[in-house]
Amino acid sequence: MTGLWRNRWGRGITARSCRSGPQSKFECTGNPLNLKRSFIVKRFRHLTLIGLTGLLANVSYGGMDAGALDQKTAEKVHGGKSYSPYVNRSFPTRPYFGDTHLHTGFSMDAGAFGAKLTPRDAYRFARGEQVMASSGQPAKLARPLDFLVVSDHSDNMGMFPDLYAGKPNILADPVGKKWYQMIQNGQGPAAAMDLIGRFSQGTFPKALMYSPGTAPYKAAWQETIAAAEAYNEPGRFTAFIGYEWTSLVKGNNLHRNVIFRDNGDKASQVEPFTVYPPAGSDNPVDLWKWMQNYEDKTGGRVLAIPHNGNLSNGMMFPVEKAFGKRLNKEYVQQRAKWERLYEAAQTKGDGESHPYLSPNDEFADFETWDKTNLDGSVPKTKDMLAGEYVRSALKNGLKLEEKYGTNPYKFGMAGGSDAHTGLTAMEEENFFGKTTPQEPSPERIKGLFVNNKKTGVVVYDWEVGAASYTAVWAEENTRAALWDAMERKETYVTTGPRMVVRFFGGWDFVAADANTRNPADVGYVKGVPMGGDLQNAPQDTAPSFLVAALRDPIGANLDRIQIVKGWLDGKGELQEKVYDVAWSDQRTPGSDGKLPPVGSTVDLENATWTNTIGAPELIQVWQDPDFDPKLRAFYYVRVIEIPTPRWTAYDQKRFGVKAPENARLTIQERAYTSAIWYTPG
């Protein structure tokens, strides 16, 4: 079929040509093209005129009126059902894209790195406005985001503006004076790494701590709230109130991003929970107690999203002990209650899986960071990896659930940039880096991000990734609706592109259910969405899944859709398997069951690619061929794009520089959905 297609996934009008294919019911060629604005405007004016004429004919001044169509006539014409298939539809019809993890100059490390943008600047940029970056160059997103959480660090919030200004209380301390002089001499990045190292190792000067209860700390927190209130516009853009609890255990990153459902009237009744004693703690258990106290005090709601765990050196997902204590029922219950989502990807590496943990998964080695902890003080060892990655945590959660009755790692997928620039610019061709020294320049491709001379750990700037965003299936773009969707885990993470992904699981899906322009209609009727649960398998029935993906309208075609399954087998061993369930270009799996690569159209010299391979959309019903109703399991979707230029390739082209020999120049962007869990009995 060729012609105009009104995409009811919520993406607008596109033009394309499609044909039937064996793995996707609609395999399409040609690029989705936005219809010319003049055409849309003319059609809109025409339809508006017709609509107003009909509307005015049926208006009574006491309110809206049904006109001459009574119930009896309607039932005769429509058989008791409305002609419109969308009447009384109450499920989410589009994903909202945003960043759950962004820092501004209010964070002490971001400020030391050179960030001068404020929370207000960050919200303006995310809403689509053009701003001036801290490096002195204009920046603007290709498309506005739908929401943003400014999550400046809890500890020392607001300290850096005073350090930069050389306030007397800062210069009175020898370390503060040293940092000030380093910044004035253009050594801000070195000052930042020293600051981070001292904080993580517990040697931060007490005289320089800006703590809750002090006037400068309160002023910074109140301005953070005021900025979110000023730029929150329900229905158009959501500015969440939040902060990042900054737990560092000897350099091992256990940060959590705390997100309020509430407005400023409730959030202003508290100040963020910090790390340093006596008021603070680096133990997440104490953060959860603070969260409970907040809800008890205000009647509000709050959740926490753990930072990508690949810099925790195995501490993010404990299975036996946490902070010297054995796990128990209270620990797993509290973690499951408060940490509903997990940050699966960000600038400091991808966290879905690792090739050591998933040796049979050819896509596991993606934007991998596996050298060290946050400050480079302790090199990584292989035994740490299982405590850092999503897939291992999801598997270990099944075993912990069997032992304690609650799965502490039954989290949904989220993504945040963790940019320390105030700019949530995670597009490969428009990447403004993680820190201000990594904002666009001819030098950044060869720079050093971590260089710990004591341990020899080196991380290069080119290893920093342009990622990521959270996609939320919500009924509307408001704090309440988005937060509620996060809590129920109806979310997925993308490494940058805004592809649309649907995932439903149930017992009754059939192949014909993929023959639809709106998979949600049948998905919500027959099953549960991503983040949901299946129980009590009907006799002789395996779960079936309806999965669909639509490419980013200004991005790359899709290579494939995969379903990742993890389970606890009959011997108590944890297992995993990756299934290719839908793919493009009429490929055929080999004798080993592996699907051949999609190929590549990337032109590195010009930093371009073409959509002459891959598919604009894929949709399929898949049933688990290896299902055992007695075994706990989870399933999540991974959607992979065709290869495209990485930000390093764009820098090569635009600045006329040569990337280091081992730098990655292409990327296959992807999305990961929240899982659907199966529990027997």
Q: Which tens digit of pLDDT belongs to each residue from 169-212?
A: 899 999 999 999 998 888 888 888 888 788 877 888 888 888 89
Instruction: Indicate if the pLDDT at residue 313 is higher than 90.
Output: yes
pLDDT value for 80: 60
Of 536, 460, 559, the closest CA to residue 24 belongs to 559
Whether 235 maps to a domain, the answer reads yes
Instruction: Indicate if the pLDDT at residue 645 is higher than 70.
Output: yes
> Residue 377 sits in which domain range?
94-100+230-470
Instruction: Indicate if the pLDDT at residue 35 is higher than 50.
Output: no
Residue 642's contacts (CB-CB under 8 Å, 6 or more residues apart) are 556, 557, 558, 559, 598, 599, 600, 601, 609, 611, 613, 614, 668
End position of a domain, from candidates 449, 470, 491:
470
Instruction: Indicate if the pLDDT at residue 592 is higher than 50.
Output: yes
pLDDT value for 64: 39
**Do 550 and 675 belong to one domain?**
yes
> Secondary structure of the chain: what % helix, strand, coil (to 5)?
30, 25, 45
pLDDT value for 74: 45
Model confidence over 6-16: pLDDT tens digits? 333 433 323 33
**Do 236 and 200 belong to one domain?**
no
Whether 357 maps to a domain, the answer reads yes
Helix (H) or strand (E) holding 47: helix 37-57
| Confidence band for 125, pLDDT divided at 50, 70 and 90 | very high
pLDDT value for 207: 86
pLDDT value for 33: 32
Which carries the bigger pLDDT value, residue 593 or residue 637? 637
**Do 422 and 507 belong to one domain?**
no
Whether 504 maps to a domain, the answer reads yes
| Confidence band for 30, pLDDT divided at 50, 70 and 90 | very low
pLDDT value for 20: 32
As a dihedral over the C-alpha atoms of residue 165, residue 171, residue 175, residue 179, rounded to 10 degrees, the angle is 30
Instruction: Indicate if the pLDDT at residue 468 is higher than 50.
Output: yes
pLDDT value for 3: 31
The mean pLDDT value for 386-393 works out to: 98
Instruction: Indicate if the pLDDT at residue 436 is higher than 60.
Output: yes
The mean pLDDT value for 659-675 works out to: 97
563 phi and psi angles, rounded to 5 deg: -110, 125
Give the whole-number percent of the chain exceeding pLDDT 70: 88
pLDDT value for 29: 35
pLDDT value for 122: 98
Whether 398 maps to a domain, the answer reads yes
Helix (H) or strand (E) holding 195: helix 188-200
Whether 234 maps to a domain, the answer reads yes
**Do 665 and 525 belong to one domain?**
yes
Instruction: Indicate if the pLDDT at residue 442 is higher than 90.
Output: yes
The mean pLDDT value for 252-264 works out to: 97
pLDDT value for 278: 83
pLDDT value for 75: 55
The mean pLDDT value for 547-573 works out to: 98
> Max Cα separation, the chain?
86
End position of a domain, from candidates 470, 486, 516:
470
Which carries the bigger pLDDT value, residue 50 or residue 623? 623
The mean pLDDT value for 646-654 works out to: 98
pLDDT value for 649: 98
The mean pLDDT value for 205-226 works out to: 92
**Do 204 and 236 belong to one domain?**
no
Instruction: Indicate if the pLDDT at residue 524 is higher than 90.
Output: yes
Highest-confidence segment of 52-66, 75-89, 145-159 = 145-159
* CB half-sphere exposure, 430, CA atoms < 13 A: 15
Dist. CA 415–CA 418, nearest whole Å: 9
Cα radius of gyration (the chain): 26
**Do 633 and 593 belong to one domain?**
yes
Instruction: Indicate if the pLDDT at residue 43 is higher than 70.
Output: no
pLDDT value for 602: 98
pLDDT value for 41: 34
Instruction: Indicate if the pLDDT at residue 513 is higher than 90.
Output: yes
Of 187-196, 380-389, 524-533, which gets the smallest average pLDDT? 187-196
Cβ-based neighbour number of residue 627 at 10 Å: 16
The mean of the pLDDT values for the chain is 89
The mean pLDDT value for 575-603 works out to: 96
Helix (H) or strand (E) holding 15: strand 12-19
**Do 307 and 450 belong to one domain?**
yes
Asked if 653 contacts 378 with a C-beta cutoff of 8 angstroms, the reply is no
**Do 189 and 315 belong to one domain?**
no
Instruction: Indicate if the pLDDT at residue 63 is higher than 50.
Output: no
Instruction: Indicate if the pLDDT at residue 59 is higher than 80.
Output: no
**Do 164 and 242 belong to one domain?**
no
| Confidence band for 21, pLDDT divided at 50, 70 and 90 | very low
Q: DSSP string spanning 220-283?
A: HHHHHHHHHHHH-BTTTBEEE-EEEE--EETTEE--EEEEESS-HHHHTTS----SSTTT--S-
Whether 310 maps to a domain, the answer reads yes
Whether 488 maps to a domain, the answer reads no
Instruction: Indicate if the pLDDT at residue 677 is higher than 80.
Output: yes
Q: Count Cβ atoms within 10 A of the Cβ of residue 295 and give its class: 0-12 exposed, 13-18 middle, 19 or more buried.
A: middle
Instruction: Indicate if the pLDDT at residue 357 is higher than 90.
Output: yes
**Do 524 and 616 belong to one domain?**
yes
Whether 251 maps to a domain, the answer reads yes
**Do 169 and 243 belong to one domain?**
no
Structural domain count of the chain = 3
The mean pLDDT value for 650-665 works out to: 97
Instruction: Indicate if the pLDDT at residue 296 is higher than 90.
Output: yes
Of 311, 449, 316, 324, the closest CA to residue 379 belongs to 311
**Do 514 and 613 belong to one domain?**
yes
Give the whole-number percent of the chain exceeding pLDDT 90: 77
Q: How far apart are the first and last CA of the chain?
A: 46
